Chains A and B, each alone.
With several copies, the nearest count.
Chain A
Amino acid sequence: MSTLKLDLENYKELLQQYIKTQDEQALYQAEQFSKHSMQQNISPEEIINVHIESLQEIYPEMPVYIQSSLDFLLETMISYGLAYQEYQALREKQLELKSEISVAANMQRTLLATEKPEIEGLEIGAISIPAKQMNGDYYHFVEDDNGFLGVAIADVVGKGVPAALCMSMIKYSMDSFPENKMDPGVILGSLNRVVERNVDSSMFITMFYGLYDVNTHTFRFSSAGHEPGYYFDSKQNTFEEIDASGLVLGVSPEATYEQCTKHVDEGDMVIMLTDGVTECRQGERFIEEEEVLEIIKQYAHLPAQETVEQVYKHFERLQDFHLRDDFTLIILKREV
């Protein structure tokens, strides 16, 4: 099977071969022919035209009505040809936009980058995958010298570029906070005021903030309307929801944030996530909370980072490789 050229001769030959043999090989070559034509930006109406000309050459006595009917068919293909050309233009534009946004996404990644700390006695797993190129989810680790680990996980209502712009502001604000350990409730309180002042009122941000004390293995946390977290009891092999009451960031400057405490036993895990994890969809069906926990349990025996990665992989496939929302999952696992 030699390389095909798009020209009348070639089409005519293939057509003639098919009319004679009606075998699959000729049809396979028809397919290859059309793919090559597409590579050369040949519009569908031109294929029809080559078809007509080939028939005229092979069958000069072809009935007149056939000729007319093909002229009519050609006319219907002109609009499709235009759509085809627009398709090619859109494709180029899309690639351009994609590369542009990927530059912006890179800027964002640099801006929002957080280092996963190495902490004696604590395994940390964290994954955050944007549904589109830019991430509207955000997580951040702060570590101090006294064995405290601060973890923020947040979700802007909205996706893509606007959400990312908004997230950058949050990051600017958090960076300006004093480095020394603060209570989760206090941190959310100050952030709330910043967001309320600076961000458009149509944008909301939910955040869960936790402070892990590596000395006493207590986890203090507050939530600004964020998806609840989970505590995994490795002995009972059960999950327990951990949540604290508090308004979404940016709604009211007066909001206060409840602070709760949970002791973490050996081998147990604290799980924080965004609604992109719990609201995965399979086709039209939202998966149930229990399914998410079931899957986490299934991979709980792995190192924390592998756990979050395997869970992501599972839901990525379940959703046909198209995330509907940014997906962020953090696991803190106290080593045995």
Chain B
Amino acid sequence: MDFQSCVNIKKEWDIVGARQLGRDIARKIGFGTVDQARIATAISELARNIYLYAGAGKVCFEAIEDMNYKGIRIMAVDDGPGIKELNQVMEDGFSTSGGLGAGLPGVRRLMDEFDIQSDEGKGTDIKVVKWLR
């Protein structure tokens, strides 16, 4: 069983808290500086989406271990309005945050695995994984 720690996202300050916790966990798992920075950026993006579009939600972290690999799993969950046009949101160059954010395509690039479920009115559930190489 893996231990899971969460940060509630309500205000902008919580984004920093989520980054901090995520970076600490990533460092403990053994990720190097560049990957730590990438993971922190992905967390920023996920937490910022919650803060901006859902109002509230949480970002959770889990150290995971496959047979051969170690990694970090990050889950961002909210019960906000959900995403209507998922295929558009996942497309390059159409980031919702108007160029300011890397958007979800950015998160996908920063991490190794990416899964999203979103239903209108029921919120959004994003799971991402980065493996230690």
B90 to chain A, nearest CB (A): 4
Selected from B33, B90, B93, the residue in CB contact (under 8 A) with A74 is B33
Interface residue? A301 (CB, 8 A) = no
Given that A24-B19, A85-B109 are known contacts, is A31 also in contact with B87, CB under 8 Å in the complex? no
Task: Render A63-76 as a binary contact track against B, CB cut-off 8 A, 1 for contact.
Answer: 00000000100110
Given that A24-B20, A82-B106, A89-B92 are known contacts, is A39 also in contact with B44, CB under 8 Å in the complex? no
A4 to chain B, nearest CB (A): 11
Query: Which chain A residues lie closer than 8 Å to B117 at the CB level?
Result: 317
Quick one: which of B2-48 are within 8 Å of A by CB? 12-13, 15-17, 19-20, 23, 32-34, 37-38, 40-41, 44
Given that A27-B19, A35-B101, A316-B86 are known contacts, is A46 also in contact with B106, CB under 8 Å in the complex? no
Interface residue? B110 (CB, 8 A) = yes
Selected from B15, B33, B34, B110, the residue in CB contact (under 8 A) with A82 is B110
The reply to whether B87 and A86 form a contact with Cβ atoms under 8 Å apart is no
The reply to whether A321 and B16 form a contact with Cβ atoms under 8 Å apart is no
Selected from A23, A39, A79, A90, the residue in CB contact (under 8 A) with B102 is A79
Interface residue? B55 (CB, 8 A) = no
Query: Which chain A residues lie closer than 8 Å to B13 at the CB level?
Result: 1
Quick one: which of A278-318 are within 8 Å of B by CB? 316-317
A102 to chain B, nearest CB (A): 12
Given that A25-B16, A78-B41 are known contacts, is A322 also in contact with B87, CB under 8 Å in the complex? yes
Query: Which chain A residues lie closer than 8 Å to B19 at the CB level?
Result: 24, 27-28
Interface residue? B100 (CB, 8 A) = yes
**Cα-based distance from A23 to B87 in the complex (angstroms):** 36
The reply to whether A24 and B16 form a contact with Cβ atoms under 8 Å apart is yes
Interface residue? A61 (CB, 8 A) = no
Interface residue? A38 (CB, 8 A) = yes
The reply to whether B34 and A90 form a contact with Cβ atoms under 8 Å apart is no
The reply to whether A321 and B90 form a contact with Cβ atoms under 8 Å apart is yes
**Cα-based distance from A93 to B100 in the complex (angstroms):** 19
The reply to whether B16 and A35 form a contact with Cβ atoms under 8 Å apart is no
A18 to chain B, nearest CB (A): 13
5 other contacts beyond A74-B37, A78-B38, A81-B38, with CB at 8 A cut-off?
Answer: A23-B20, A31-B41, A49-B33, A75-B37, A78-B41
Nearest first, the 5 A-B pairs at minimum CB distance are: A24-B20, A321-B87, A321-B90, A78-B41, A82-B102
A-B contact pairs, 28 of them (CB 8 A): A24-B40, A25-B16, A27-B19, A28-B16, A28-B40, A28-B44, A31-B40, A31-B41, A39-B99, A45-B38, A49-B34, A75-B37, A78-B38, A78-B110, A79-B102, A82-B41, A82-B102, A82-B106, A86-B92, A86-B93, A86-B105, A86-B106, A90-B92, A93-B92, A317-B117, A320-B90, A320-B114, A322-B87
